[in-house]
Structure 1
Amino acid sequence: MISRKLMVLLSIICTVVLLAGCSSSGEAKENSQPEESTEETQQGDSTDSTKEETTEEDTIIEAEENSDSEVSTNVIDVSAFEMGYDPSEITLQKGEEYELILNNDGEVFHDLTQKEMDVEITYMGEMADHPESVSLLDKVLGVKKVHASGDHDGGHDATNIHMNAKSGQTVKIKFIPQETGEFEFFCTVPGHKEAGMVGTFIVE
């Protein structure tokens, strides 16, 4: 009789213990699910933030590339040599700013001068004065002083183009054409223009 009651009591205790264990296990699972969900949300937010930052960086880079592309369309490289320019014909738009780069790829001093076209000079880099003499010209033409006509060594006119460079030198200016038409540019070193060192600005 006692053993029977004992067995019933033990059965009840075991049942209670099992139920309590299942209940705590269920609560633990329920508690762990929100944590996992929170971690997933944080990871998702972090990924979205990274994507937004990447998109902003790409946009900035693209804008800079477009800006560089726009600027580069108004840069004109001109090579000076014996006895000419490349290109010798340059087309411009009135009112737009241009950067003109003169590279002296010749063996002697050269310049690029345009006296008729009205321009606004917005930037002028450093340039060398015309030399006292140029050996090649001394031998061929017998000149002793090579210089541009007018007040070259005293300064450049802010409404005309005059660029000069030693052999191997690169110089630059920025300017805005103020009128339309065709305008001749040339090298003012004695004998160079006569030898064909001329070109044309076409302003539309």
Structure 2
Amino acid sequence: MSAGRELMKRFAALATVLFALGLLLAGCGSDDDQSDQGGDTGDQTDEEMMETGDDGHDEGGHNESSDIAADSRRIEVTADSFAFDPAEIRVAAGEDIAIVLTSTDILHDLTIDELDAHVAADRGETAEGGFTADEPGRYTYYCTVAGHREAGMEGTLIVE
């Protein structure tokens, strides 16, 4: 009978550990409302989105590009695997810039809030968007597609 009791104790200990682990994992989930991040990505993982090209959006304004001035300097940027290349861009204050964004895997965009700059490119596409940075400083550019910035998809624009 003591073997049965020992088995019951081990079962109870295992059940307690599994319950605690379940609570811990549930606590690691996100409380963020996905609607303020541009949409709900459903149950797809980042890898599934990259494979299918589905970003979880219904083109929620990502395709609108900012205007490009005539004679803008073109700067080529590649968006791939939640990173920009180059991760740093240097321009002169007052210079008209055209970002030529190429996405190799899924929909990505490049946004600079302070400069009202935005350009988006879907998988395998290239798109252009422009801006003029009149004030010297450092500006962050990032991808607004849900989860991409959180995955580290940012870069720095340095205006000299």
What interval of TM-score do these two structures reach, taking the shorter chain for normalisation? 0.5 to 0.7
Identical amino acids, percent of aligned pairs? 41
Q: Which has the higher helix share?
A: 1
- The number of residue pairs the alignment matches comes to 90
Q: Does 1:183 align with 2:124?
A: no
Q: In 1, are the aligned partners of 2:118 and 2:129 still within 8 Å (CA)?
A: no
SS of corresponding position for 2:89 = strand
Specify every segment of 5 or more residues in structure 1 that has no aligned partner in the other structure, as ranges.
1-70, 119-159
Q: Does 1:113 align with 2:111?
A: yes
The structure whose RCO (Cα within 8 Å, separation 6+) is larger is 1
Residue in 2 that maps onto 1:173: 129
TM-superposed deviation, 1:91: 0.3
Offset from partner CA, 1:100-138 (integer Å, 9 cap, x none): 1000112x111111102x3xxxxxxxxxxxxxxxxxxxx
Residue in 2 that maps onto 1:50: none
Offset from partner CA, 1:23-61 (integer Å, 9 cap, x none): xxxxxxxxxxxxxxxxxxxxxxxxxxxxxxxxxxxxxxx
Q: In 1, are the aligned partners of 2:79 and 2:108 still within 8 Å (CA)?
A: yes
Query: What is the letter of the counterpart of residue 141 of structure 2?
Result: F
How far apart in 1 are the matches of 2:129 and 2:101? 9
TM-superposed deviation, 1:99: 2.0
Q: Does 1:79 align with 2:78?
A: yes
TM-superposed deviation, 1:163: 1.0
How far apart in 1 are the matches of 2:100 and 2:124? 13
Structure 1 residue ranges (4+ consecutive) displaced by more than 6 angstroms after TM superposition: none
TM-superposed deviation, 1:175: 2.5
Specify every segment of 5 or more residues in structure 2 that has no aligned partner in the other structure, as ranges.
1-70
Q: In 1, are the aligned partners of 2:118 and 2:130 still within 8 Å (CA)?
A: no
Q: Which structure: larger Rg?
A: 1
- Give the TM-score, by structure 2 length: 0.53
Offset from partner CA, 1:83-110 (integer Å, 9 cap, x none): 100001000101112221000112x111
Query: What is the letter of the counterpart of residue 107 of structure 2?
Result: F
- Give the TM-score, by structure 1 length: 0.42
**Distance of aligned partners of 1:94 and 1:171 in 2 relative to their CA distance in 1, 3 Å threshold:** same
Q: Which has the higher strand share?
A: 2
SS of corresponding position for 2:131 = strand
How far apart in 1 are the matches of 2:119 and 2:97? 14
RMSD: 1.5
Offset from partner CA, 1:143-163 (integer Å, 9 cap, x none): xxxxxxxxxxxxxxxxx1111
How far apart in 1 are the matches of 2:145 and 2:98? 23
